[in-house]
Amino acid sequence: MRPTLPTSRRSAMDFATFARAIFALAVTLGLVGLGAVALRRFGPEALARFSGAKKERRLTVVESLVLDPARRLVIVSCDGKERLVLLGEGRLVSELGAAKTPASKATVSKDRA
């Protein structure tokens, strides 16, 4: 059989354990708060510097138009060419051909003049 400690000694250890847990919680919350303040101060730009140089993307969405809740028209630019794409219900409905780029419209209007 184990000898039991006096109640005054047992409560002192309980208080020390409780105080240690409270201190650990305060340190953890302080570090989380410090990280949040640093992220707000320096923002995503600081994280982007560590990720290295990004290549220029070849694919961009130029414009998007919602036709109805199920369908959407999107102008997509890839390698300098623009395409008009009709999307619907989570899939490609049809590709409607090459859309003229704004630069090519300007050259066409100059040629006609």
Q: What is the pLDDT of residue 91?
A: 73
Domain extent listing, the chain: 8-53, 59-112
Given CA atoms 102, 105, 110, 113 in this order, what sign does their dihedral have? negative
Q: Residue 104 CB: number of other CB atoms within 10 A? A: 13
Question: What b/e readout covers 29-60, taking b as 16+ CB neighbours within 10 angstroms?
Answer: eeeeeeeeeeeeeeeeeeeeeeeeeeeeeeee
Q: How much is the CA Rg of the chain, to the nearest whole Å?
A: 32
Burial class (CB in 10 A: 0-12, 13-18, 19+), 107: exposed
**For residue 101, how far is the Cα from the chain centroid?**
30
Which residues of the chain have a pLDDT value below 70?
Answer: 1-12, 52-54, 92-94, 96-113
Specify the length of the chain in residues.
113
The pLDDT of residue 19 is 92
SS3 5: coil
Give residue-wise pLDDT tens across range 101-111.
555 444 444 44
Which pLDDT value is given to residue 69?
Answer: 87
